[in-house]
Structures are given as structure tokens and as C-alpha cells.
A and B are shown apart, each in its own frame.
Chain A
Amino acid sequence: AQSVTQLGSHVSVSEGALVLLRCNYSSSVPPYLFWYVQYPNQGLQLLLKYTSAATLVKGINGFEAEFKKSETSFHLTKPSAHMSDAAEYFCAVSESGATNKLIFGTGTLLAVQP
């Protein structure tokens, strides 16, 4: 079964600093990969999605992620953090097959310090 590992349950950065949230997946075939953001007391919002069309995926709010097959990674980055980026971020993988099931990591809570 596929799985997702997010290293670092809490990440703190200063406003204007680089944001790097780590995600590694286990899969024997190229998967579909997603990053979602969850603001307090809200549902999940899609940030970006990897579908094998390009290894560097650009998402909303200035975020991007790079798919690296050799490292089985799909890390999320943003060049300059903003206070409004404070939220929980989830990496997810979609199992191949007829069911559109997402397997989520445990999440990374991003704090942005002024």
C-alpha cells in the first residue's frame, strides 16, 4: 500500500523567509501527488497537483513543488513566507486504480513569525 511521510510536524519561519515543507511517498509506480492547505476550523483547499506532465508544479498563493522520482519526494516550497500562510499543510498521494482515494500524511503545521 502507498504511504506518505511528512517530516516535521511543526515548522516555524520568519515572514519573508523561504518555506520548505517535506513530503516523501512510497510507490512503485509514478503516483498522483497533491498538496492541500487547511486553515483553522476549515476544510482542505487544493494548493497544487502533480500528474507527470511536469516535474515542477506551480500552485496557488506562490507555492510550488518539485517531483523527484530518484528521491521519492514532493517537497513544497515558497520563496517568501507571508503571515497569511500560517496553516496546516497536507501532502497526499492517489492510489492508481478505479477509486479516487487519497492517502494523506500526518500534516505539517506552519507558523510564520513577524
Chain B
Amino acid sequence: ETGVTQSPTHLIKTRGQQVTLRCSSQSGHNTVSWYQQALGQGPQFIFQYYREEENGRGNFPPRFSGLQFPNYSSELNVNALELDDSALYLCASSWDQGSGNTIYFGEGSWLTVV
């Protein structure tokens, strides 16, 4: 148990649709990041939010967007879904934004795009 909770656990969407994934960070953690893990691959960094501001982004197009709320929970939104967006989406939280802070992961949300 890492204290990071994600919802939903599984969902199926049609190509072109939009999806919102949700995450509650571990108590006391002000930094949330999102990762995409395709089947058979390591997780890839999407972006990080610190105190409601995006402060780091990986190589993902703008149709991947996010929000962080005052209670530090977060959402990942993906517009215009493509088949290649099918993956496990992992939310993670840490005590602070800087490198080296231990990152705790949730169980993930499995997204299938058909």
C-alpha cells in the first residue's frame, strides 16, 4: 500500500473519444506525476504537477493534459484517443518536486482503445 489511489482501474474507449483518469496522492505529498506504460515496456514520464502547476513534461503531444487540485489530487486527460494510447497509466506522488525524492506509485488505470 503506497497511499496513492487511482480510478478507474480498467476502462475501454473508442478511438477519437476523450478519457479522464483520476489520482489521489499520498497524504502530505504535494507533487504528482503521470506515467504511461505500454505492454512490455518500462513506464514513460508524461508530466509532473507541483502545487497545481505543470513543471515538467515528457515527449507527449498536447492532447495529453492534466490538472492538480488544491488537495493535490490530480487528473490526466487524453483527447482524440488513438489505438497506441492503450496502456497502463500510472500516477505517482512524492514529498516534493525535486529530483531524488522517493516516488510512490498507484496501482494504475488500464486503458484499452478500440
A binding-site residues for B, Cβ under 8 Å? 32, 34, 36, 42-46, 49, 51, 90, 92, 94-107
Contacts and interface: CB of A to CB of B under 8 A. Distances in A.
Contact of B43 (A49, A98, A102): A102
Nearest to B10: A41
Contact of A100 (B40, B103, B105, B106): B103
Contact of B100 (A42, A44, A51, A90): A51
A103 to B, nearest CB: 7
Contacts of A102: 35, 43, 45, 103
A105 B99 contact: no
Given A100-B31, A100-B33, A45 B103 contact: no
Main secondary structure of the interface of B (DSSP, over half): loop
B97 A100 contact: yes
A98 B55 contact: yes
Interface string B6-44: 000000000000000000000000010101000011111
Closest 8 CB pairs of A and B: A99-B56, A104-B42, A32-B100, A44-B105, A43-B107, A43-B105, A94-B99, A101-B45
Given A98-B56, A99-B48, A46 B42 contact: no
Contacts of A45: 2, 105
A107 B42 CA distance: 6
